[in-house]
Amino acid sequence: MDSFFARVEPFWPAGRRDLHWHVLPTPAEAAALAAPYAGIAGPGLEPVSPDGMHCTLLHAIGAGRDDVDIEELLRDVRSTARTLAPFTLTFDRPAVGAFAIEISGWPGAPFTALVDTVTAATDRTSAAFKPGRSRYPHISLGYTTSGAASLDAVALRAALASIDGPLSATVVASGTRLPRFPWG
């Protein structure tokens, strides 16, 4: 495995402030998502705490908060998002990837409609950015850091497979709750 942070540094250097749109689980939703995976860690793997869990919609690469009228952008997205039907994202068994452990979610169609909504609104600001659109709903449980090359992906998969019981948890997405716009 390779370090997630070393991988993203060439296009997201330390200190650069891009705009990010996320679906943020409530504290109760995040706790339910994280609970089965407590203790899944190791050198080279940084777990994501429940209060840091997020499902990325858009990473507007190269656009910072000084490049847009934030209040107008928020009004635009909130107005459009309220026209979308609420939906529930269901997240299930994790996968060990090259850079993270993540749980994928479904359904994809309403998620993609929300990604399209925030991308179009961000594009209407005329800010110069490269859209890093999420292609599917997912939440990372842990990111690889320095030392990731020594992680044993098979052992991680075995540890995850040994979790007994159901792992599904949900996050509600609705126009009154989302999207949230954390500064990043």
Q: Roughly what angle, to the nearest 10 degrees, separates helices 108-124 and 70-81?
A: 150
Domain-embedded: residue 78? yes
Say if residues 111 and 89 touch (Cβ distance below 8 Å).
Answer: yes
Domain-embedded: residue 183? no
Q: How many distinct structural domains can be found in the chain?
A: 1
- Kindly give the pairing relationship between strand 100-106 and strand 138-144: antiparallel
Q: What is the pLDDT of residues 78-123, one digit of tens each?
A: 898 888 899 999 999 899 988 899 999 999 999 999 999 999 999 9
Q: How confident is the model at residue 11 (pLDDT cuts 50, 70, 90)?
A: low
Domain-embedded: residue 84? yes
* pLDDT value at 181 more than 60: no
Domain-embedded: residue 112? yes
**Long-range contacts at 105-109 (CB < 8 A, ≥ 24 apart):** 105/55, 105/136, 105/137, 105/138, 105/139, 105/171, 106/137, 108/136, 108/137
Q: What is the pLDDT of residues 134-178, one digit of tens each?
A: 999 999 999 988 888 888 889 999 999 999 877 899 999 976 554
Query: How much is the pLDDT for 82?
Result: 85
* pLDDT value at 179 more than 50: no
Q: What is the pLDDT of residues 36-95, one digit of tens each?
A: 998 887 788 999 999 999 999 999 999 988 999 999 999 999 898 888 899 999 999 899
Domain-embedded: residue 81? yes
Q: Which residue has the tokens 């991988």?
A: 7
- Report DSSP state, residue 128: -
Cα–Cα distance measured from residue 133 to residue 131, given in angstroms and rounded to the nearest whole number = 6
Whose CA is closest to 33, among 141, 162, 136? 141
Domain-embedded: residue 32? yes
pTM of the model: 0.87
Domain-embedded: residue 179? no
The domain containing residue 59 runs over which residues? 4-173
Whose CA is closest to 105, among 133, 137, 58? 137
Query: How much is the pLDDT for 103?
Result: 95
Query: How much is the pLDDT for 90?
Result: 97
Domain-embedded: residue 19? yes
CATH code of the domain in which 21 resides: 3.90.1140.10
